[in-house]
Amino acid sequence: MRSVWPAVRSALLWLVSGLHFFTLVPLLILLAAVLDPRKHDWLQRGLCRRIVFLAGAKLVVHRAPGFDPRRTCFFMVNHVNLFDPFVLYSAVPQFVRGWELESHFKIPVYGWLMKRFGNVPVPDVRRPSDLKRMWRLTQAAIDGGTSLIVFPEARRTRDGRLSEFQDGGFRVVQQLGVPVVPVTVVGSFEHHRTGDWMLRPATITVYIHDTIETKGLAKDDVPALRDRVRAIIAAPLDEWLKKTRG
């Protein structure tokens, strides 16, 4: 019986969180069609917090003293699983959207929600015209006071460890002069692992680190910025892995 219970519990968590998502998302899409999403941002955050909770996770957020929530910025985050957007929308204390693979916009319901809410599509095939469109939409979001979430690994972890970072997002912030905020998500891998359907009760801790200025950086500074951000994100994650895996 003990061996069966985790699977039963996981199925129940998927059912409850999924029903909540698919019940409220049509309402959010309708509201977004007639109202500026900023006017019902509180409702979106409430949905995200409940999705995380109903999926069996407790959320804890730590903000560094040097983090300035008033600054429009790029949040660079380690990518763990499909719950990352819900966790981050719950944890980041400002109006925020994300870079999202363009193929995700074709997913029923979820894709409609991402498009309606103003997430920026990142082309799966990097043609010059598509990249220019991405840059234009990114610039418009920043100019409008919308911060953006970026996963510089460009893929979900398969072992809970941090992968190498790609340069794309860092090139953008260097050229736009937008501040960067490293964010570490710890505990999500224990909650849900990509490729495994099981949900396990866990505590997810989000570390929002100090804001990093990028104005005045040259193209040659991009690798150093990338490595600095990766080291900051990796520190809490590596500490957690040492404690849990030895």
pLDDT of 127-148, one tens digit each? 787 778 888 888 988 998 999 9
pLDDT digits (tens, 9 = 90+) for 36-76: 878 888 888 998 999 999 999 999 999 999 999 999 999 99
pLDDT digits (tens, 9 = 90+) for 143-181: 989 999 999 998 899 999 999 999 989 999 999 999 999
pLDDT digits (tens, 9 = 90+) for 12-23: 999 999 999 888
Q: Over the chain, what is the mean pLDDT?
A: 90
Share of the chain above pLDDT 90, in %: 63
pLDDT digits (tens, 9 = 90+) for 87-106: 999 999 999 998 887 777 77
Count CB neighbours of 17 within 10 A.
21
Helix (H) or strand (E) holding 172: helix 168-176
Nearest to 104 by CA among 89, 126, 82, 87: 82
Answer yes or no: is pLDDT of 25 > 90. Answer: no
Confidence (pLDDT) at 2: 66
Contact (Cβ atoms closer than 8 angstroms) between residue 231 and residue 88: no
Token output for 87: 């966790």
The pTM score is 0.91
Confidence (pLDDT) at 87: 96
What is d(CA 111, CA 16) in angstroms, rounded to the nearest whole number?
A: 21
Confidence (pLDDT) at 11: 95
What is d(CA 86, CA 210) in angstroms, rounded to the nearest whole number?
A: 22
Which range is most confident: 98-102, 118-122, 198-202?
Answer: 198-202
Q: What is the mean pLDDT of residues 195-218?
A: 95
What is d(CA 208, CA 77) in angstroms, rounded to the nearest whole number?
A: 9
What is d(CA 156, CA 82) in angstroms, rounded to the nearest whole number?
A: 9
- Residues present in the chain in total: 246
